[in-house]
Chains A and B, each alone.
Chain A
Amino acid sequence: MENLFNLFVRSIFIDNMIFAYFLGMCSYLAVSKTVKTSVGLGIAVTFVLLVTAPVNWLVDTYLLKPGALAWLSADLADLDLSYLSFMIFIAVIAAIVQLVEMVVEKFSPTLYNALGIFLPLIAVNCAILGVALFVQEREYTSIAEVTVYAGGSGIGWFLAIASLAAIREKITYSHIPKPLRGLGISFIITGLMAIAFMSFMGIKI
């Protein structure tokens, strides 16, 4: 339990998807002009992460890893399909995003109205594939760990985009040197926010 909580806090603050790994920067910079849309995108990313990461973990553990097919028959125990993992992960993500979109549209039109436009964007959000690959690389051993890590990463991403949007809304009234306006200042703000987040590094639980 303690371990899971630790993982959760660290994936939000210290190994933040944006500030430590720059994942999902494209939509982060493009959609952070107003707080409302960025909150929508942040929730959508967290939601999709919570679904795709465990599924990708299951696929990796029971289909792709060296020896993963041993549960089917002993003859397949030597098979190593891990070279296909990029392809399978991205296919799983694209399929799930599509599925989530259809399910949400059918059962909750309000949620669909809020998230709908963001879902197609998410399939190519690096953070989603990034989490799947980090889970594979770090060899998480239980589905609980994977889910907690995915949730934490999603919330971390959400925090990052929501706070950048809030700052950018304020900054429209400031005098920024002309060449720095827009993209330039966004990068520098993100850098400064990342420095602030680094102060969580010393945290001990």
Chain B
Amino acid sequence: MSDNNKTKEREPMFSAKVLRLLKNPFNLENPITVQVLGICSALAVTVQMKPAIVMALSVTIVTAFSNLIISSLRDTIPSRIRIIVQLVVVAALVIIVDQLLKAYVYDVSKKLSVFVGLIITNCILMGRLEAYAMANKPWPSFVDGIGNGLGYGMILVIVAFFRELLGSGKIYGMRVIPQSFYDSGYMDNGMMILPPMALITIGVIIWVQRSKTPELQEK
């Protein structure tokens, strides 16, 4: 990780460093398009905006709090059972999120089905815990979690936006393509609803991002 300065003086709550933690995941250190973490569990929920947003929020909450908890405990965790401790904390948080979803947004939780549980094995979590939380103070770790969760969620929401708009002519469940379009021969692209287009959409997002920021290009 880029910042390892061990300054002793008190930092303000939102120092430039902390703000960078929040901002970088949106572009230069985006978890999906740059770090290649956590693609697994969530693409299947990008057919519509609503489940994608709920999923993004759930992942953000779990990353932020697991970062916070592990970072606060980092000096007490015996290194030999480090991974197990991390897994248990993450699993516990995911169970709590799953129970909350079932209690308060039942219809969305049905759509997310097994994918909430799969947040546990989302590589983003273990990745950030190992790379950041184990070596940094609780507050920056918490912000790092939020930043990465949101950076990840952003990609989900972008993918879901295009798939819902082109696939069913709606945004967030609301019809945006007017009926007159359909009358004059426009049709929803059923292909967008099927899984392969999620992958291709991400490929295109990566393409656009890397054309704009050439330093990310691979040789």
Contacts and interface: CB of A to CB of B under 8 A. Distances in A.
Q: Do chains A and B touch in the complex (CB under 8 A)?
A: yes
Contacts, number: 138
Nearest to B32: A183
B95 A133 contact: no
A171 interface: no
B84 A29 contact: no
B189 interface: no
Interface stretch (A37-45, A106-114, A185-193): A185-193
Nearest to A87: B91
Q: Which of B42, B88, B120, B211 has the most chain A CB atoms inside 10 A of its CB?
A: B120
Contacts of B203: 180, 184-188, 191
* Interface bin, chain A: 35 or more
Interface string B75-94: 00000000010011001101
Given A83-B99, A87-B91, A180-B207, A26 B36 contact: yes
Interface string B179-219: 00000000000000011111110111011111100100111
Interface stretch (A3-11, A16-24, A63-71): A16-24
A130 B219 CA distance: 34
B114 A187 contact: no
A30 B36 contact: yes
B24 interface: no
Interface in B126-183: 126
B43 interface: yes
Given A22-B39, A90-B91, A129 B117 contact: yes
A137 B122 contact: no
Interface of A: 19-26, 29-30, 83-87, 89-91, 94, 124-130, 133-134, 136-137, 177-188, 190-192, 194-195, 198
Given A21-B44, A177-B207, 15 more contacts: A22-B195, A24-B40, A26-B37, A26-B38, A30-B36, A86-B117, A90-B120, A94-B87, A129-B121, A130-B121, A180-B207, A182-B218, A183-B206, A192-B200, A194-B199
13 contacts: A22-B44, A23-B40, A24-B40, A29-B36, A84-B95, A86-B95, A90-B87, A137-B113, A137-B114, A187-B206, A191-B197, A191-B198, A198-B196
